[in-house]
Amino acid sequence: MHLITFITKIFHFLPEEIAHRFALSGLRIVYESGLLKILLGKKVKGTETLDNSFDKKVYKNKLGIAAGLDKDGEYIDCLSALGIGFIEVGTVTPLQQSGNPKPRLFRNKTDKSLLNRLGFNNKGVEALVENLKKRKSTIPIGVSIGKNFDTPNEEAFKDYLFCMEKVYEYSSYIAINISSPNTKGLRELSNDKFLRDLLVIIKDKQNKLSESFEYVPIYIKISPDEELEDLEKICKSITYYEIDGIIVSNTTVIHNDKNGYGGLSGSPLKNKADEKLSFIKKIVGDKISIIASGGVMSASDYLEKIDCGADLVQIYTGFIFEGPKLINDILVADSP
């Protein structure tokens, strides 16, 4: 077994949230000491530069880390040293918040899934911006933004605008997270009326900000639990208001996990996320970009997302279970 894979497995004996923190801190120490390259073995070549007509940023490959792994942008340099093409940091909110009570993250080894009800624990958008300014890595960084737990939905737009303004000049794209199941009422923002109002305001802000800074694409991250009829409306609104892309999808709340409520990710999410991805691709065609997320646990899962129409693909749970080996396997499988 590759040394770094062995280390990844050892972390699985620790409680989930502690394991994630230790693993990322350990990765950063190893990166800063210069040992990461030795541990990783032979270097993986990034695939060809992505030719994406909606997003002119240069991606050395199509594989990224999904939102939530590096909420405060503290691990950008060490994660990017693993060979991935981009990272989505966040979700951040205007003000720091501690999230839901613990325990709130559970690992199921048999199903290869995670159940989380973290609830946007983060250090606030300003702390994230400081980390974005300090990063050495030049890979594209998407920033996922959300609302504080105590901001009513009627005022949620103010939180999104506040975060957009703060992160705009430091982001390669901005993801509007309206699909986390762990902030009460957040998913209501994808209802037709709320969404249309929100998209108008966000598009207007993007237009204004792009007069002063380089144009930054906006993506909307959606839930995999939307009915097809609602999903169609969401897609039509997104294209109508000229939003640049969609992220399919967040975690699912439709499950019987023994640990109770929260969003489920990993293997059990794969088919549902793929179905939604294919459906969306049929509706939007090439009008907007699509980032796929949900249940990529192997190189073949990744290739299926590309076949379903994804422009870029993200991993989270697969990375927790398999470690850097998953990145390596995917990049090898997608090499020309």
Residues recognised as catalytic: 180
- CA dist., res. 107 & res. 229, Å (int): 33
- Contact segment (CB under 6 A) with ligand FMN among 111-119, 164-172, 207-215, 231-239 equals 111-119
Given candidates 28, 205, 221, 305, which one binds ligand FMN under the rule CB under 6 A? 221
Q: Per-residue contact track with ligand FMN, 37 to 76, x per CB under 6 A?
A: -----------------------------xxx--x-----
The answer to whether 246 and 259 are in contact (CB under 8 A) is no
118 binds ligand FMN (CB under 6 A): yes
Q: Which residue minimizes CB distance to ligand FMN?
A: 68
The CB-of-176 to ligand FMN minimum distance in angstroms stands at: 10
Paired tokens of 165? 């303004």
Whole-number CA gyration radius for the chain: 18
251 binds ligand FMN (CB under 6 A): yes
- CA dist., res. 107 & res. 113, Å (int): 6
The CB-of-309 to ligand FMN minimum distance in angstroms stands at: 17
Q: Total residues at the site for ligand FMN (CB under 6 A)?
A: 26
Given candidates 50, 79, 81, 105, which one binds ligand FMN under the rule CB under 6 A? 105
253 to 312, contacts with ligand FMN by CB under 6 A?
265-266, 269, 293-296
Which positions lie near ligand FMN, rule CB under 6 A?
66-68, 71, 91, 105, 114, 116, 118, 144, 177, 180, 221, 250-251, 265-266, 269, 293-296, 315-318
